[in-house]
Amino acid sequence: MNRAISMLLLPFLIVVAVLVMASVYIVDVRQKALVLRFGEVVDVRENPGLGLKVPFIDQVVRYDARILGIPTPPMEVTPLDDRRLVVDAFARWQITDVVQFRRATAAGGVQFAQQRLADIVTNAIRQVLGSVPSTTVLSDDRTPLMNQIRDLARQNAEDLGVRVIDVRLTRTDLPEQNLNATYARMRAEREREAADEIARGGEAAQRVRAAADRTVVELTSEARKKAEIVRGEADARRNAIYAAAFGRDPEFFAFTRSMTSYERALRGENSSLVIQPEGEFFDYLKSDGAERANPVPAAAAAALSVVAPAPAVVPAATEADVPPSETNREGEPLGEAAGVTLTPMPEVLSSPPQEQSVVPTTPAN
């Protein structure tokens, strides 16, 4: 009989155990649960632990209570300056109101909510980034923009019973075609700057060359001026020496010049001369001109050829003993304006005093 009772109690215990197991549910610390009865919410469990439900009638729906993440696909946005950008973002969200979340998503759950949130975050990104220029989007400090996107997405996601915690822009780049155009524009800009630098360098080099050429011209002109001054003063000195030599003995000077003319004219390679023999050119071929000579007196010649020791007492120089000095038109010594000091004319080239020849008289017989 005991065996029969045991046989009857065993199915009962099994049924009781099944009913207990069907009426008890466990809520994990990472979850939030809803107890549904014929589709209506009859209980909300947000704290972890055991819960009771009507077996086979109530249904327990669990949702993740942790902070979830959702990436947005890359999208093209047009900022305020009509410059297209490729942007993608990453959002973090959490279920705050389980009942409202159930009503908004129905049986879709978290997957459906993520699709809705992706659209909400995408629209918020387009709206916020479309109100600012591209330079602000591409800058390093984009925290204010991300905060605006977060607030706007949070406001639009309140009907889902979720809270958008944060939105981060992970990439903000130009489209591929825009990148090529931008690189080409940057390259053109750099080439223009390089051309400007080359032009400025060429201009500076031209100024340096012009200054150097002007300096060369000035120095050359100044040197040529000084050379002409020195040459002119030297010619004047030479002419003065010639004049002094001519004044000493005009006949000897004419004889010397005639000999030089003969030497230059009567060369074998020169052309033949057709001239009358009675011409002045042949005067010194007929006669040496001794009858017209005015030689230096013997005393003066001895003084020129023999160097006598200096006398103990130097007589005072007379006006005739001072070497002649030549001056320019302004009365300055020749060569002084050009920085050249000329050597005084040797005393031996100065005109000697002309002595009258004394004809001795023969006493009358």
* CATH, residue 156: 3.30.479.30
Contact 166, 150 (CB under 8 A): yes
Q: Are residues 162 and 91 in the same domain?
A: yes
Q: Are residues 96 and 170 in the same domain?
A: yes
Q: Flag whether 10 is in a domain.
A: yes
Q: Flag whether 337 is in a domain.
A: no
Measured CA to CA, the distance from residue 172 to residue 66 in angstroms comes to 29
Question: Is the pLDDT assigned to residue 262 strictly greater than 80?
Answer: no
323 pLDDT tier (thresholds 50, 70, 90): very low
Q: Mind listing the pLDDT tens digit for each residue in 169-189?
A: 888 887 777 667 778 888 999
Of 25 and 277, the structure prediction assigns the larger pLDDT to 25
User: Quick one: pLDDT at residue 305?
Assistant: 41
Residues 6+ apart with CB under 8 A from 45: 27, 32, 33, 34, 35, 51
Q: Are residues 78 and 147 in the same domain?
A: yes
Residue ending a domain, choose from 30, 45, 64: 64
User: Quick one: pLDDT at residue 196?
Assistant: 93
User: Would you give the DSSP letter of residue 163?
Assistant: E
Of 338 and 241, the structure prediction assigns the larger pLDDT to 241
Q: Flag whether 344 is in a domain.
A: no
Query: Which of 23, 1, 55 has its CA nearest to residue 9?
Result: 1
Residue ending a domain, choose from 17, 34, 64: 64
**How many C-beta atoms surround the C-beta of residue 3 within 10 A?**
7
Q: Mind listing the pLDDT tens digit for each residue in 50-103?
A: 887 878 887 888 888 899 999 988 888 888 887 888 888 999 999 988 888 888
Query: Which of 257, 265, 237 has its CA nearest to residue 326?
Result: 237
pTM over 0.75: no
Question: Is the pLDDT assigned to residue 311 strictly greater than 50?
Answer: no
Q: Which residues pair with 60 in a beta bridge?
A: 35
Domain count, the chain: 3
Of 295 and 167, the structure prediction assigns the larger pLDDT to 167
Q: Mind listing the pLDDT tens digit for each residue in 215-253?
A: 999 999 999 999 999 999 898 888 888 777 777 777 777
190 pLDDT tier (thresholds 50, 70, 90): very high
In which domain, by residue range, is 109 found? 68-174
Q: From residue 211, how far is each of 80, 215, 216, 219 by CA, in Å? A: 53, 6, 9, 12
Contact 339, 233 (CB under 8 A): no
Q: Are residues 199 and 211 in the same domain?
A: yes
Measured CA to CA, the distance from residue 47 to residue 32 in angstroms comes to 7
User: Quick one: pLDDT at residue 259?
Assistant: 80
Q: Are residues 74 and 153 in the same domain?
A: yes
Q: Flag whether 318 is in a domain.
A: no
Q: Which amino acid is present at 75?
A: M
Mean local confidence (pLDDT), 270-274: 67
Contact 289, 255 (CB under 8 A): yes
Question: Is the pLDDT assigned to residue 255 strictly greater than 60?
Answer: yes
291 pLDDT tier (thresholds 50, 70, 90): low
Conformation bin of residue 229: beta by default, left when phi > 0, alpha when psi is -120 to 50: alpha
18 pLDDT tier (thresholds 50, 70, 90): confident
Q: Mind listing the pLDDT tens digit for each residue in 115-162?
A: 999 999 999 999 998 888 888 888 877 888 899 999 999 999 988 889
Q: Flag whether 169 is in a domain.
A: yes
